[in-house]
Amino acid sequence: MIRAAEPRDFDRLVEVAIASALFEAEQSELISQMLRSQSATEIWLTAEVEEQPVGVACLTPEKMTSGTWNLLMIAVPPSHQRKGVGKSMFDYVQSWIATNGGRMLIIETAGDPAFSYVRTFYAREGFEQEATIRDFYEKGGDRVVFRRLVDPLD
């Protein structure tokens, strides 16, 4: 089940994000602050299995665009990876965007070899690699941008 994140989920969602290995433990406070002070335009989602949060996603509309959304975070811990949780979240996000008049979803990740499985997942989900910004995060730490048009709902 995927639903809007609630304050009761916040501590567990931080744990989920850190356990996913996409974020460093030092980033837990930043993620916690993002959850607790989310803007009115951010959409935070929780994936549940047996009433326990096992996935987190955050999306927001891109400023100064018409219908473009940015998936800032999608994280599933290893214990629930390769079980359809991430795919279900992607499908839900895209359906939500289409329902709310969106037309495009972008997602960004690191170009580091350790993130190759993430980039492979995005490509498998129909995202196209659109750009690479070299040395974005740090020297040698590229940012890779993917995009996908969202099918409108009839």
Q: How far apart are CA 152 and CA 154, in angstroms?
A: 6
- Range 70-90 average pLDDT: 87
If DSSP codes are grouped into helix, strand and coil, which group holds residue 7? helix
* Whole-number Å distance between alpha carbons of 9 and 14: 9
Whose tokens are 């939500």? That residue is 96
Does 154 have pLDDT greater than 70?
no
Whether 154 is covered by a domain: the verdict is no
**How far apart, in whole angstroms, are the C-alpha atoms of residue 75 and residue 56?**
5
Whole-number pLDDT of residue 41: 86
The yes-or-no verdict on residue 153 having pLDDT over 70 is no
pTM, two decimals, is: 0.84
Q: What is the pLDDT of residue 79?
A: 81
Give a yes or no: residue 135 inside a domain. Answer: yes
What's 130's domain CATH number? 3.40.630.30
89-138 pLDDT, tens digit per residue, is 989 999 999 999 999 999 999 999 988 988 998 999 899 999 999 999 99
Model pLDDT for residues 40-76, shown as the tens digit of each residue: 788 989 999 888 899 999 999 999 999 999 999 898 8
Contact (CB, 8 A) for 38 and 44 = yes
Number of domains in the chain: 1
- Residue 68 forms beta bridges with which residues? 104
Q: Residue 6 has what pLDDT?
A: 87
What pairs with residue 10 in β-bridges? none
Q: What DSSP character marks residue 8? A: G
Looking at residue 99, its pLDDT comes to 92
Residue ranges making up the domain that contains 84 = 2-149
Q: In the predicted model, is pLDDT for residue 39 greater than 60? A: yes
Does a structural domain hold residue 10? yes
